[in-house]
Amino acid sequence: MIKIATTEIETRPRPRPAVLLIDPYVPGQSSAPGAAKIFKLSANETPLGPSPRAREALRAFADHLQDYPDGAATALREAIGARHGFDPARIVCGNGSDEIIHLLAAAYIGPGDEGIFTQHGFLVYKIAILAAGGVPIVADETNLTADVDRILAKVGPRTKIVFLANPNNPTGTYLPVAEIKRLARSLPSHVLLVLDAAYAEYVTRPDYSSGEELVSNSENVVMTRTFSKIYGLAGIRLGWCYAPPDVCGAINRIRGPFNTNGGAIAAGVAALDDKGHIEKAVAHNATWLAWLAHEIAALGIKITPSAGNFLLLHFGGETQARAADRFLLGRGLILRAVGAYGLPHCLRLTVGTEEANRLVVAALKDFVNFESRARA
């Protein structure tokens, strides 16, 4: 009998298998049905909003909507360079720092290559690694904090990138500059270390660095930043990286030719120019982060000390965390469930306005009292 080789006939386009392994990123909840007033404390957005100068720049840009933006984002790169003392040629801008992360993965990870991130690290790292055809490798943390030795233990011959959020979201923990330097020094020279410093502007700790010195003196360290947090421009998506020339050259080859829109460029330049607004945001956060941590801990709810603009609240288990979430939603207070980060017993609370901060503490106090009565 003659056997005829056959192949399966595809009936529709199919994505690469790695794409189907990706769990889509799910943003925090933004609605509380039935609540008279909503306080969204789930997305680490600044309660002060953007600089008035950024608002005005965006309004003025409306007269130029028909024009393509500068594909090199020259004015924005120069403004970032002037603000931080960086060479603008070593800056690449993008549609949020998320895009920069994806570009780095696409440029340096191929099929079978490995990308490392920590146990409770930002979910986008895994997505970017898988989307590039790579293998995500998780390094355990110690006390919800990245551990340099555990990261290094995961480095192998296929490792191409290490992603590290510093401070980390959703834990708020960070590594001091000495540990960051040790990590960079210990990595093989061909492995790219990506320091995601989305919350750097909020950090007031003397032993912290966002990593710019390492980038300036290394060929394999990149720092990513965002305008979505303290600058209050999350709605127009704007991010950037400071990187070695070769890395900039690689991602400039694959990014979209107009990946940073004109309105975002104009607003970003204006936001950088308003130092007073940023100083107010830092002061507001320092005051209310400390107040929230003290008041919530006094209720018997464990918190993880944070260097960012949010707190991680620990409950007695997943059931209690869900009950607390429902209780708070009933009062229009939206927190972030973080089960996707392996923390189903926790909720993340963003520092809000004075009104929101006082309301959330009062609501948590009522919840604790309600739980106590229910157990009695």
The Cα 11–Cα 360 span in angstroms is 53
The Cα 45–Cα 233 span in angstroms is 9
Residues in contact with 15: Cβ distance below 8 Å, sequence separation at least 6, in sequence order? none
Q: Write out the residue limits of the CATH 3.90.1150.10 domain(s) in the chain.
A: 26-48+276-375
Residues in contact with 231: Cβ distance below 8 Å, sequence separation at least 6, in sequence order? 46, 50, 51, 54, 201, 268, 271, 272, 278
Matching CATH number, 52-274, of 3.40.50.460, 3.40.50.2300, 1.20.1050.10, 3.40.640.10? 3.40.640.10
The Cα 4–Cα 269 span in angstroms is 66
Residue 84: exposure state from Cβ atoms within 10 A (0-12, 13-18, ≥19):
middle
The Cα 278–Cα 276 span in angstroms is 5
The Cα 47–Cα 146 span in angstroms is 28
CA nearest to 351, candidates 124, 39, 143, 28: 39
The distance in angstroms from the start CA to the end CA of the chain is 79
Q: Do the Cβ atoms of 238 and 264 come closer than 8 Å? A: yes
Residues in contact with 313: Cβ distance below 8 Å, sequence separation at least 6, in sequence order? 296, 301, 302, 303, 324, 335, 346, 347, 348, 349
**β-pair type (333-334, 336-337):** unpaired
The Cα 201–Cα 229 span in angstroms is 9
Q: Do the Cβ atoms of 121 and 165 come closer than 8 Å? A: yes
pTM above 0.85, yes or no: yes
Digitized pLDDT (tens) for each residue of the chain, 376 residues in all: 445 555 567 788 888 887 888 888 777 777 777 777 999 999 999 999 999 999 999 999 999 999 999 999 999 999 999 999 999 999 999 999 999 999 999 999 999 999 999 999 999 999 999 999 999 999 999 999 999 999 999 999 999 999 999 999 999 999 999 999 999 999 999 999 999 999 999 999 999 999 999 999 999 999 999 999 999 999 999 999 999 999 999 999 999 999 999 999 999 999 999 999 999 999 999 999 999 999 999 999 999 999 999 999 999 999 999 999 999 999 999 999 999 999 999 999 999 999 999 999 999 999 999 887 777 6
The 8-class DSSP code of residue 78 comes to H
Q: Write out the residue limits of the CATH 3.40.640.10 domain(s) in the chain.
A: 52-274
Whether domain 26-48+276-375 has CATH 3.20.20.70: no
Cis-peptide, bond into residue 167, ω within 30° of zero: yes
